[in-house]
Structure 1
């Protein structure tokens, strides 16, 4: 039996498992709130793996190993920044956001939370936030489809467009039928697959080398270590030859966590604020070990692909290192199961993002402008239709990709981090925040990020740094220069903070919006 046949069998098993979870979730979902947020009943283990899997996407298994292989350990600053940022996100944002979103009129989306938190009767805050989500997530979903197409190119030597469409179709299918529960539980399964694969592949690759210790010196000594590039004696240095601006920019990826809607929505779905502690421990451990696996994939690759007859499929960004090593080292059936980890990474992120975008379209735009409140079934069906519509638009953008996976992800990550990150933090920790300040922060953060990212300045400093700083400044200056929030808003702020603190101190604490 040919290798490609074994791969197909393994992938079919995986895809049907995802669809089965989607169908199970469909049977558990009867109300619109359940479709969008799972009824706020997500346990912390599932929430942690779901957040991690939807966060890392194809970047962890394809983008990061490729960047490390090509450039060197200076790329580790991104991984460090992400890990630290994720820890602070779980520590600072998760418990307060879980409490505040329920206190603030049971908000089920990020834009609706902003509006309810500040009692914005103009609806401008909610509409602008939803438009930002739709814009940046279209690029983000597109990056997942690009990864899916490249996956099929490497695995089956097949057509990029066909692979992209298959991955998109299955992801849309289980998101369409199962909603938030389907996305969360499939993400948890996918997170486990990603972790196991990132442990197995580099270990087996290192064992297969004549001298495993070469992984710690070869790339810095051999001119063919990175596909014929000039030898890089500073390959293993994190600071030599790297400017302070590059280090700051890479570390700044961690700032993006505070504003990623597809991640923080998991916080909103936790059973109680107290679950954030368990979620943080599980999520950060998973993340740290997974990143370590990606690092060793790149290190093993510098020797594996330059001392054997094997070649890397992607000779531009080198983003197929993980895929290629798995196919070479394992029996086709087992290799196929390992390779599903890449599909898992791609699909987990895409599904989360599709659901958030559809929620914004329906909850934050349609319901705002609709004169009549749609029925529960109508809202669910409209959300499903929105999933398909956004997927089609993202697929059109992905047909002829002109950027790497890391480049596409980086642009969208910076956009959300700068537009929403500061606003989320100020919403949870500053009672003086008002509507004009919130709108100014969002708009300035998004505009600066887009402008900086499209200019030559992005070559010297990652756009999230000026975008995040400009957003914070705009929020503070405009809020202080305009009318203070009402006593009612301030009182609700104090209530939400008190609820989160009491819940965090008592694992059995339960509350409602009238606590």
Structure 2
């Protein structure tokens, strides 16, 4: 049996397991609330692992190692910013969002939460938020399909289109039928697989190379700044370097507005359980980021050893090392971790897109449909978004990190400030939220497509800041709905009670 056959068997086992989990979730999903939010019944550890797996995508196993392999440790500031941002998200957003979405007429999507929290009877805010989700998530899902195509090209020599369609098809199937629960349970399995693979690969490579000191010397001979987290500080000067690093670390700002991540907060059993989720999430993120960084750095030394080892695509460093140093079947399981990263994110994003189409666009125009019909519409929404994303992914030259960074900035700048202001400032109005959301989204589109501006500062920063400014100014010029105060105070009371109970339990 050839090495490739072993690897394909391992991947086939993994894909079959994902379909099995999807079928299990399908049997347990009988309503639109269950399809979109799993009836708010997630354990904190499940929510945390699911959020992390949905968050990281192929970026963690391909994009981040590729960036560090090409440029050195300076690219780790993205991971640092993301880890800080995720911790802050669990700390300050999760408990309040869980409580407030239930108090505000049991909102099950982010757009519906905005509308119900701010009492926007015009539906303009909800429609705008739903459209932002559809636009940016289409790019995001497309990035996963690009990663899938590259995965099969580099691992098995398959045509790009074939690999892309296999992964897209399997992900579509278990998401189409399993809904939010299916996506969440597969995310947990995928998150655990990613964790083991990212820890195992750099350790095994180092043990096989034997001489860690020699590897470090080789690494620095290839790139003298490979291990320098502060590379460029002396050349650029403190101010310019600081702005560049802030722009990179500003990825962390995006967490507050990522619908596929914060929807996990809404699905927690209680607001108080966010504390446990934060600990699980942070531990997973720190260890997997270290694994991805270690893989890239040790890969610099290994592939510099001889000309025949030259790596054509830096984003495949994790894939190639796993194939070299593991038994073919085990290597297949490690490779499956890359698929896990890709598929977990795609499935979560497809569910959010489906909810935007059905809950936030179809239902608010006066249409009435039975629960069974709404389930069917939700699944149709998943299919439509997947087809559009597949068309965008036909370009095999698309850069994974570029697609992800654009979509991440879009959500972070459009939704992040509105989420934070909704949870912490009772004076926010529907007009202010609408104006801020549109400002953030438009800023990302404009700034991100002007090369000189994009190079100077990641577009999430101006978009985030302008969103807050516009939202606050417009809110000051308008009046909040009279029912807002009562719900805001109810949310604060519930969060306070839950946090006090959790503290006592500790």
Residue 32 of structure 1: aligned partner? 32
TM value normalised by structure 1 = 0.94
Matched residues in 1 for 2:398 and 2:364: separation?
Answer: 36
Q: Is the 8 A contact 1:147 1:405 kept in 2?
A: yes
- Worse overlay, 371-380 or 53-62: 371-380
Q: Alignment partner for residue 241 of structure 1, among 207, 232, 237?
A: 232
* Distance apart, 1:454 and its partner CA: 0.3
Shift in Å, 1:309: 6.0
1:270-328 Cα distance to aligned partner (Å, 9 max, x none)? 00001100000001100100000001001110111111465355x24x10000000111
Query: Aligned equivalents of 1:149 and 1:39: distance in 2?
Result: 34
Which residue of 1 is the match for residue 461 of structure 2?
A: 465
| Partner of residue 62, structure 1 | 62
Structure with the higher helix share, 1 or 2: 2
CA distance in 1, matches of 2:98, 2:309: 48
User: Deviation string for 1:32-85 (max 9, x for gaps)?
Assistant: 100100000000111000000010110000000000010111111111100000
1:380-439 C-alpha deviation (Å, 9 max, x unpaired): 111101111110100000001443111110000000000000000000000000011000
2: CA distance between counterparts of 1:310 and 1:502?
63
2:129 is equivalent to residue 129 of structure 1: yes
How big is the shift at 1:506?
2.0
Q: Which of 431, 437, 454 lines up with 1:442 in the alignment?
A: 437
- The aligned residue for residue 512 of structure 1 is none
- Corresponding residue SS for 1:506: helix
Give the TM-score taking structure 2 as reference length. Answer: 0.96
Cα distance change of structure 1 residues 310 and 92 upon mapping to structure 2, 3 Å threshold:
farther
Q: CA deviation at 1:3?
A: 1.4
Task: Return the match for 2:295 from 294, 297, 306.
Answer: 297
Aligned partner of 2:490 in structure 1 is 495
Q: Deviations over 1:148-174 (max 9, x none)?
A: 000001110111100000000000000
Which moved further from structure 2: 439-448 or 243-252?
243-252
Q: What is the RMSD of the two structures over their aligned residues, measured on CA atoms?
A: 1.4
Report if the CA contact (8 A) 2:134-2:353 is conserved.
yes
The aligned residue for residue 103 of structure 2 is 103
What secondary structure is seen at the aligned counterpart in 2 of 1:270? coil
1:363 matches 2:368: no
Does structure 2 conserve the Cα–Cα contact (< 8 Å) formed by 1:312 and 1:324?
no
Q: Look up the SS of the partner of 1:485 in the other structure.
A: coil
Mapped partners of 1:189, 1:453: distance in 2:
35
Alignment of 1:113-128 (within 5 A): 113-128=113-128
Aligned pairs, number: 496
2:405 counterpart of 1:410? yes
1:381 lines up with 2:376 in the alignment: yes
How far apart, CA to CA, are the structure 2 residues paired with 1:99 and 1:215?
51
Contact 2:149 2:396 in 1 (8 A): no
Partner of 1:424: 419
Question: Mind listing any 5+ residue stretches in structure 2 that lack a counterpart?
Answer: 234-240
Contact 1:414 1:449 in 2 (8 A): yes
Find out whether 1:278 has 2:276 as its counterpart: yes
- Does the 8 Å contact 1:139/1:394 carry over to 2? yes
Give the conservation status (yes or no) of the 8 Å contact 1:273–1:503: yes
Q: Residues 464, 312 of structure 1: CA spacing in aligned structure 2 closer, same or farther, 3 A cutoff?
A: farther
Decide whether the 8 Å contact of 1:111 with 1:125 is kept in 2. yes
Q: Which runs of no fewer than 5 residues in structure 1 stay unpaired?
A: 223-231, 510-515
**Per-residue CA distance 1:231-255 (angstroms, 9 max, x = gap):** x423322223152222011110000
Q: 1:336-389, CA deviations, whole angstroms, 9 ceiling, x for partnerless residues?
A: 0111000000000000000000110000000011x3421101001111011111
**Counterparts of 1:217 and 1:495 in 2: how far apart (Å)?**
60
Counterpart position of 1:513: none
Name the stretch that deviates more: 4-13 or 419-428. Answer: 4-13
- After TM superposition, give the deviation of residue 218 of structure 1 in Å: 2.6
2:315 partner SS: coil
Where in structure 2 are the equivalents of 1:312-331 lying within 5 Å? Answer: 315-316=312-313, 318-331=314-327
Partner of 2:472: 476
Q: Does the Cα contact within 8 Å between 2:429 and 2:481 map onto a contact in 1?
A: no
Cα distance 1:212–1:493, how it changes in 2: closer, same or farther (>3 A)?
same
